[in-house]
Amino acid sequence: MELPGLAFALWMFICLYAPVDGYPSGKVRGACTSMVPCHGSSPQLSPEHTITVNGTEFKPGDNIEVHLFGPDFEGFFIQARDAEHLDSPAVGSFVLVDRRLSQLLTCGRTKNSAVSHTSKAKKKYVKVYWIAPGDAPKRVQFLATVVKKYKTFWVKIPGPIVSQPNVLSPTTPLHATSEAISASHTISYLSKPFNASGCGSMKFCIRNPSNCDPGSASCFFLSFQQEKSSVFIEMSGPSEGYLAFALSHDQWMGGDDAYLCVNENHHVHVSTAYLKGRSPPVLDSENALEDVSWRLVDGVLQCSFRRSIRLPTCEGRFNLDSSYYIFLADGEASEGGQIYKHRRQPLITNGIYNVTGLPQDIGGSRSPRLIKAHGVLMFVAWITTVSIGVIVARFFKPVWSHSFLFGKEMWFQVHRMLMLTTVVLTSISFVLPFIYRGGWSKQAGFHPYLGCTVMALTIFQPLLAGFRPSRHAPRRQLFNWFHWSTGTTARILAVVTMFLGMDLPALDLPDPWDTYTMIGFVAWHVGTDLLLEIHSYCLVRKVEVIENDRVQILQSLTSAEAEGRLFKQIVLTIYVCGNAVFLIAFLAAINQI
């Protein structure tokens, strides 16, 4: 038998007997080298599907559109390889267009070097982008394996060959592949991600989360390094749309000096702009930036450029030797480069900084301090003090009825103290957003309307309590029901308002953590309330009197309640500790934004 025939027979043996049952989820890393699915049958010979690209030449950093289409198929596997050595490892990396149909895979040491299906749902067409690496061979060919049905598939369908007209010599820096856009400005492709070396010692850095690696997929990074009369700037973050930073005299958008890196059809365009209020940025017709470079890999957008410290001839450009608040924002962009409003609050420094002064390594916050304080105070008021106060009033009257504090029954004094604390905390918290916004917010949906309703009920409740009838007055029962219904309505509306507020841009807590935390608290409170209700019901059932003999055979209600005192106190202690856990978790989340 000839060697190719022997190899084929060996392959058939492995596929038939190895514990592999296809790849309906598209996780085909085991087929990275051979591109052969182990479906227990031989591949078809005449392909029915076609691979096309939108060009025949490329340079390192270029993006090539790759299309795979044909009759209905369930699975696929696409790679690019050296056209002269098709058995060599995959070349370059891919960027997805539709994540519902396709997913990225890592073959060998090259990340995102292959694309496969996400499910075996039938499809006719797939589109992806191939990014040419800095060390690409002269000629690259695209290959595809297509699975029509489980036992009907084609392997290594040959696609077009693209080539680079002038291969770089080994001594040429990989990042120096340039595309001239003017006599004095060039755009280069970055061959490797940024790093944080020199932050705080040689350059001024902003990182979120603190001390994160700018090469990671969750790190927002901005650095400034002074070099004589200019500043070299690096910006990085997880975004497939755009990244932007702005220098501002205050913590409000408007009248700011902005710099944008925008993904335009998988090429990054870097430009300066002027922010006027909350309107879309006005891009400058003349670009004052030099040494522009960019990189877009694995969903992380990076760009770098240089600008002079002073640009007296460029209107709207601030001098970099002064102090400013610094904004860092990200958002979506269309394929044509049109940017959309950022969905979440920009990262904003907590103070003003001079980026050409003493190098620092700082963080920032996506939530203003006043809004953080608003959220914390409301959480303490309506998750802690109100909840405990309601439980004390509802279940601890018999337990603490014979204990006095400052001349009043203890349960009443504890209840009143907690409720007054709630009124004070809510009142302080209520005014903070108005101070921050300078008025009413029209972009917060129903949250401010419900918040005002809760505030009104919060003020009304203690005023109503001041007119409480005496214990045996005829209207006392009516007062009790009215007092209970007002308080319950306020609590329900407060929880709904907090649900709405947690997802607002100014306090965008981690999703879905915030929702789970609030659902957990509601379940915790309702569960505790039901437990105490059941316990009280069981105590009442112990009081039975045989009318005929008029003999009390069990304890009285008062003594039964006394018997349950220890149980209620244990439940209350556990409940307070649980509330403290929810509060600590909320504070930890607030501290992260």
Secondary structure (3-state) at 432 = helix
pLDDT class of 190 with cuts at 50, 70, 90: confident
- Residues 417-465 pLDDT 10s: 999 999 999 999 999 999 888 888 877 889 999 999 999 999 999 898 8
Report d(CA 238, CA 398) in Å as an integer.
Answer: 58
Contact by Cβ (8 Å): 263, 333:
yes
pLDDT class of 244 with cuts at 50, 70, 90: very high
Rounded to 5 degrees, φ, ψ at 325 are: -75, 145
Secondary structure (3-state) at 365 = strand
CATH superfamily of 188-365: Cellobiose dehydrogenase, cytochrome domain (2.60.40.1210)
Reference 214, options 237, 243, 241, 192; nearest CA is 237
Higher pLDDT, 179 or 97: 97
CA angle (437, 439, 443) in 5-degree steps: 65
Average pLDDT, the chain: 82
pLDDT class of 471 with cuts at 50, 70, 90: confident
Which of 3-12, 58-67, 183-192, 507-516 bottoms out in mean pLDDT, i.e. has the lowest? 3-12
Q: What is the pLDDT of residue 141?
A: 95
Report d(CA 584, CA 15) in Å as an integer.
Answer: 54
Q: What is the pLDDT of residue 11?
A: 45
Neighbours of 265 (CB within 10 A): 13
Q: What is the DSSP secondary-structure string of 190-206?
A: -SS----TTBTTTBEEE
- Exposure on the CB side of residue 122, measured as CA atoms within 13 A: 5
Which residue shows structure tokens 């394929």?
335
The continuous run of DSSP H or E covering 322 comes out as: none
Domains 29-163 and 188-365 share a fold: yes
β pairing state of 361-362 and 204-208: parallel
CA angle (305, 307, 308) in 5-degree steps: 160
Is 50 exceeded by the pLDDT of residue 179?
A: no
Residue 503 carries which side chain, given as an amino acid letter? D
Which of 114-118, 119-123, 160-164, 510-514 bottoms out in mean pLDDT, i.e. has the lowest? 510-514
β pairing state of 290-297 and 186-189: parallel
The domain ranges of the chain are 29-163, 188-365, 369-592
Q: What is the pLDDT of residue 218?
A: 86
Q: What is the pLDDT of residue 554?
A: 43
pLDDT above 70 as % of the chain: 85
CATH superfamily of 29-163: Reeler domain (2.60.40.4060)
Q: What is the pLDDT of residue 352?
A: 93
- Residues 340-358 pLDDT 10s: 887 778 889 989 999 999 9
pLDDT above 90 as % of the chain: 35
Is 80 exceeded by the pLDDT of residue 167?
A: no
Is 90 exceeded by the pLDDT of residue 187?
A: no
Residues whose CB falls within 8 Å of the CB of residue 532, separated by 6 or more in sequence, listed in order: 391, 394, 395, 568, 571
Residue 545 carries which side chain, given as an amino acid letter? V
Contact by Cβ (8 Å): 491, 453:
no
Burial of 495 (0-12, 13-18, 19+ CB in 10 A): middle
Q: What mean pLDDT is predicted for residues 35-57?
A: 87
Q: What mean pLDDT is predicted for residues 271-300?
A: 81
**Quick one: DSSP state of residue 174?**
G
Q: What is the pLDDT of residue 192?
A: 80
Is 60 exceeded by the pLDDT of residue 13?
A: no
Q: What is the pLDDT of residue 365?
A: 78
Q: What is the pLDDT of residue 175?
A: 34
Q: What is the pLDDT of residue 71?
A: 93
Paired residues of 128 in beta bridges = 66, 96
Is 60 exceeded by the pLDDT of residue 189?
A: yes
Is 80 exceeded by the pLDDT of residue 182?
A: no
Paired residues of 95 in beta bridges = 129
- Residues 200-239 pLDDT 10s: 999 999 998 888 988 888 899 999 999 989 999 999 998 8
Q: What is the pLDDT of residue 536?
A: 80
Paired residues of 206 in beta bridges = 222, 362
Is 50 exceeded by the pLDDT of residue 142?
A: yes
Neighbours of 579 (CB within 10 A): 20
Higher pLDDT, 173 or 217: 217
Report d(CA 332, CA 8) in Å as an integer.
Answer: 48
Q: What is the pLDDT of residue 475?
A: 87
Q: What is the pLDDT of residue 171?
A: 33
Contact by Cβ (8 Å): 450, 385:
no
